[in-house]
Amino acid sequence: MKHGLHLAGWTLLMGMAPALAQAPSTDGLQQALATRFEGDRTGVCVQAAVVEGGRVLRGAHCAGTRPAGAAAARPAPPAPPADASFEIGSVTKTMLALLVADLVQAGRWTLDDPIARHLPAGTVVPSQPGREILVRDLLTHRSGLPPLPPRWQPAQPANPYEGLTPARLLSALGEVRLAQPIGSRFEYSNFGAMLLSLAVARAHGSDSLEPLLRSKLWAPLGMQGAQLNRLQPTPPAASGHLPGGLSTSPWTAHPQLAGVGMVRATLDDLVRYVQAQLAAAAMPSAATSNAPAASVAGKPSSPAPSSTPAPSLQAALHLTQQPLAPGFGMAWSIAQPAGRTVVFHEGGTGGFSSLVAFEPATQRAVVVLADTTLTDQGGLGDIGLHLLGVPGPALAPRRAVPLPATLREAMAGDYLLAGLPMRLWAQGEVLMAQAQGQSAFELKLDSRGDFYPADTVGVAARLVPLREGERITGFRWHQGGGALVAERAGARPALTAQNPAWQDWAGEYTLAPQFALRVFEREGQLMLQGSGQPALAGEPTGPDRVEVKAVGAVFEFTRDATGRVTALTLRQGGQIITGPKRQP
C-alpha cells in the first residue's frame, strides 16, 4: 500500500531485457525468479504465477543466505508454504473498485457522483467553486486530497492504520485545504481510498467490507483464502519482513476503511482473480453499461480462462479496467511499456509486496507475491514485465557490494533533504549519514548503485545518487512509498537565461507534489531538469514550445493576459500534466 505507485518498472526501457515470445515454461519461470532474486540483499521469498489462456504456471524462490558483510549475518527466513496468505497491500484497491463498479451497474451510484452524497449528513468535504470531489476523482487519485489525513500520527508505527476510526477520518476531511484544482493532477492518496471505502460500506449498511467482498467477489470466484484485516488469518499467513530479514507486524485497519489495502490472499486466490480479469478484458466495451467510451485495446489471441465469471460480475470487472484518466482506470494503472497496453497494480505494506498485471491483447497475466517490503527497493515491476513478455529492465538481484573509497568520498557532504539538513561523511571505510536532530547510521551500497541503511537500523529505505557528469549533486531518498530529493549545498542551478527568447520561461514549475521542473540556461543551451533527474537539453520548436527529444517530451508554456508566463504543460507518452510557475 504505502503512499505511492511504482511505475518505473513499466516505463523505464533502457537496458532492456529481451521479451518472451510466449509464456515461459515451468523451468523458465523458475529460472527467471532465480535470476532476479538469488542472493538479493533483501532476503526476500517470492511466489509467482503466469496465466495464459487456460494454462497456469507457478513458481517460488528465496534469495538465500544474507550476503557476506551484513551485520549479524543469518540465514534468510524460511519460505512460506504454497498455501500461505500474503498481505497484498494496495492491490486491495482494485477489489474496492469492483464494489464501486457493482454499485454503478446497479444504478445506485455514478462515477460523477460527488462523494459527499455518500457520506454522513453534515460531513464537511473540501470543494472548489463549481467543482466537488467526485467518485471518479478518488478512483484515479485526482481528488487533491493528501496521501494521509492531516495531523494524524499513528499510535503504532509498525501497524500504522490501526486505531484510525471513520469519525477521525471524516473529522480530518474537514481540515483539508485543497492546494490544486480537483481533477487536475495525480497525487496518490490512501486518505482518498479510505474515504471511498467508508462510502461503499455505508452504501450497503455494513460495518465491514469483508462480507461485501466475500459475497460479490471472493465466493463467486472461489477465492477461498481471501480475507480482510485479520491478525490470525486462515489459512496460515506468511510472515512479513523488512529488507534484510527483520520480522514485522501484520497490518490492520478499521473494517470500514480496510479497502485501502488490508486484504490477505494466497497465490491461488489471485490466480482466480486475474483469470476473471482476463475474461472481463475480452468483453466488448459496448457490453458494459455505464462504461466510459474508451476501452483497453486488444483482443485475445488465445482461449479465455477456463472459469468465466457470471455476466454481472464480468461486466463490473470490465468496467474497472476502462480508462477514466491518463494512466488510470478504476484504481487500476494502465501503462504502455514498449507500445503495449498493460493493466496493473502493485501493493506494499510494512512487510509484504505484491503485483497483479495483465495484458488484454495477449490474454497473459502475472501474479507475484513477496514476504518482504520491496516498495522502496524498486518494487516488482521488472520481474512482472519479464514474465508478461514485455521488454523491460534486465533482471538482476540487488546484492551488497564493497563501497569504493572514491565513491565514499564523492558522496560525503552537506545536503538539504526537503528542507531538512543532512550530512554524509566517511568514517574509516564506511559511509555515515545523519539528518539534523536524528541518530547517525551507516549507508551500504548494492550492485545497482543504490545506497541503503544498514540492517541494524531497521529502516526500509533506498538512496539513489544524482549526478551531473562525474559530480554527485544530490540524492533521491525512497521511503514509505514516496521519494524526496536532497540537494547538495550550493548545487542548485541559477534559474535564469541570457537568451531573450528564453528569459520568460526560466524558473521552476510544480508539476506534482514533491516534483518540480526547472528551466534555465547553461553554457548557451536551454536546459530542463525534473526533481531528482539529470538536466536535459531542450530544443525550442515553436512559440512557447520546447521539445526534449531524448525522452519524447513536449513542454508548452502558458501566458496570462499581460504576457507573463504562469504555467507549463508537459506532454509525454499520452500523459498531460500542467503545473504553475513558482513566482518570486
pLDDT in tens, 100-158: 999 999 999 999 999 999 999 999 999 999 999 999 999 999 999 999 998 888 888 88
Does some domain include residue 66?
no
Residue 55 DSSP one-character state: E
Check residues 576 and 475 and name the one with the higher pLDDT: 475
Q: State how far the Cα of 478 lies from the Cα of 532, in Å rounded to an integer.
A: 11
Which residue type is seen at 125?
A: V
Please say if the pLDDT value at position 398 is more than 90: yes
Residue 91 DSSP one-character state: G
- Let me know whether 414 and 361 are in one domain: no
Check residues 329 and 27 and name the one with the higher pLDDT: 329
Does some domain include residue 463?
yes
Which residue type is seen at 501?
A: A
Note the pLDDT of residue 489. Answer: 84
Short-list 433, 439, 429, CA closest to 412: 433
Of 68-77, 134-143, 297-306, 382-391, which has the strongest mean pLDDT? 134-143
Note the pLDDT of residue 124. Answer: 95
Q: Mean of the pLDDT values across residues 460-466?
A: 89
- Helices 92-105 and 190-203, interaxial angle, to 10°? 40
- Let me know whether 333 and 458 are in one domain: no
Task: Please report, for the domain that includes residue 168, its CATH number.
Answer: 3.40.710.10
Q: Mean of the pLDDT values across residues 337-352?
A: 93
| Sign of the Cα pseudo-torsion (415, 416, 417, 420, in order) | positive
Short-list 349, 347, 357, CA closest to 384: 357
- Let me know whether 302 and 450 are in one domain: no
Q: How high does pLDDT run on average in the chain?
A: 86
Q: State how far the Cα of 90 lies from the Cα of 92, in Å rounded to an integer.
A: 5
Does some domain include residue 102?
yes
Check residues 68 and 247 and name the one with the higher pLDDT: 247
Domain boundary among 326, 357, 392: 392
Note the pLDDT of residue 9. Answer: 41
Note the pLDDT of residue 154. Answer: 86
- Let me know whether 133 and 170 are in one domain: yes
Task: Please report, for the domain that includes residue 463, its CATH number.
Answer: 2.40.128
Backbone Cα Rg of the chain? 24
Grid coordinates 523505464 are at which residue?
A: 12
Note the pLDDT of residue 371. Answer: 96
* Distances 245 to 47, 156, 291, 351 between C-alpha atoms, Å: 17, 20, 45, 10
* DSSP character string of 319-347: HHHS-SBTTBSSS-EEE-GGG--EEEEEE
- Let me know whether 186 and 250 are in one domain: yes
Per-residue pLDDT band at 42 (split at 50, 70, 90):
very high
Short-list 435, 427, 491, CA closest to 463: 435
Q: State how far the Cα of 65 lies from the Cα of 438, in Å rounded to an integer.
A: 31
Provide the residue range defining the domain that includes 332. 8-12+83-392
State the CB neighbour count (10 A cutoff) for residue 294.
12
Note the pLDDT of residue 301. Answer: 32
Does some domain include residue 54?
no
Check residues 534 and 232 and name the one with the higher pLDDT: 534
- Let me know whether 102 and 191 are in one domain: yes
State the CB neighbour count (10 A cutoff) for residue 389.
22
Of 74-83, 381-390, 462-471, 565-574, which has the strongest mean pLDDT? 381-390
Does some domain include residue 372?
yes
Least confident of 87-91, 215-219, 255-259, 510-514: 510-514
If one counts the domains in the chain, the total is: 3
- Let me know whether 203 and 297 are in one domain: yes
- Let me know whether 295 and 376 are in one domain: yes
Q: State how far the Cα of 188 lies from the Cα of 483, in Å rounded to an integer.
A: 12
Please say if the pLDDT value at position 197 is more than 90: yes
Please say if the pLDDT value at position 4 is more than 80: no
- Let me know whether 236 and 331 are in one domain: yes
- Let me know whether 153 and 244 are in one domain: yes
Please say if the pLDDT value at position 562 is more than 50: yes
Q: State how far the Cα of 411 lies from the Cα of 465, in Å rounded to an integer.
A: 8
Q: Is the pTM of this model over 0.85?
A: no
Please say if the pLDDT value at position 539 is more than 80: yes
Residue 217 DSSP one-character state: I
Note the pLDDT of residue 21. Answer: 60
Per-residue pLDDT band at 208 (split at 50, 70, 90):
very high
Note the pLDDT of residue 179. Answer: 80
Please say if the pLDDT value at position 11 is more than 50: no
Please say if the pLDDT value at position 359 is more than 90: yes
Per-residue pLDDT band at 485 (split at 50, 70, 90):
confident
Q: Mean of the pLDDT values across residues 525-532?
A: 84
Task: Please report, for the domain that includes residue 522, its CATH number.
Answer: 2.40.128.50
Note the pLDDT of residue 544. Answer: 94
What is the per-residue pLDDT across 503-528, written as a single tens digit (0 to 9) for each? 999 999 988 766 788 899 988 889 99
- State the DSSP H helix or E strand holding residue 570, giving kind and residue range, or none if neither: strand 565-572
Short-list 346, 371, 2, CA closest to 161: 2
Which residue type is seen at 387?
A: L
Domain boundary among 368, 392, 416: 392
Domain boundary among 488, 521, 545: 488
Angle at 16 between CA 12 and CA 19, to 5 degrees: 115
Note the pLDDT of residue 294. Answer: 30
Which residue type is seen at 274?
A: V
8 A C-beta contact, residue 6 and residue 483: no
Grid coordinates 536524528 are at which residue?
A: 438
What are the CB-based long-range contacts (under 8 Å, 24+) for 384-387?
384/9, 384/344, 384/355, 384/357, 385/9, 385/10, 385/337, 385/342, 386/17, 386/20, 386/32, 386/36, 387/20, 387/23, 387/24, 387/29, 387/32, 387/48, 387/50
Least confident of 55-64, 208-217, 324-333, 533-542: 533-542
Note the pLDDT of residue 76. Answer: 56
DSSP-based three-state secondary structure for 532? coil
Does some domain include residue 494?
no
Per-residue pLDDT band at 322 (split at 50, 70, 90):
very high
Q: Mean of the pLDDT values across residues 75-88?
A: 85
Per-residue pLDDT band at 311 (split at 50, 70, 90):
very high
What is the per-residue pLDDT across 51-73, written as a single tens digit (0 to 9) for each? 998 899 999 999 985 444 444 44
Angle at 342 between CA 355 and CA 385, to 5 degrees: 55
What is the per-residue pLDDT across 12-21, written as a single tens digit (0 to 9) for each? 333 445 666 6
- Let me know whether 270 and 343 are in one domain: yes
Note the pLDDT of residue 39. Answer: 93
* Grid coordinates of 87: 498481505
Please say if the pLDDT value at position 300 is more than 50: no
- Let me know whether 177 and 284 are in one domain: yes
Q: Provide φ and ψ at 252, rounded to 5°.
A: -140, 165
Q: State how far the Cα of 323 lies from the Cα of 335, in Å rounded to an integer.
A: 11
**Percent of the chain clearing pLDDT 70 (strictly above):** 87
Q: State how far the Cα of 304 lies from the Cα of 37, in Å rounded to an integer.
A: 31
Does some domain include residue 87?
yes
How would you label 103-125 residue by residue, b for 16+ Cβ within 10 Å and e otherwise?
bbbeeebebebebbebbeeebeb
Check residues 567 and 297 and name the one with the higher pLDDT: 567
Note the pLDDT of residue 574. Answer: 67
Does some domain include residue 41?
no
Q: Mean of the pLDDT values across residues 261-272?
A: 97
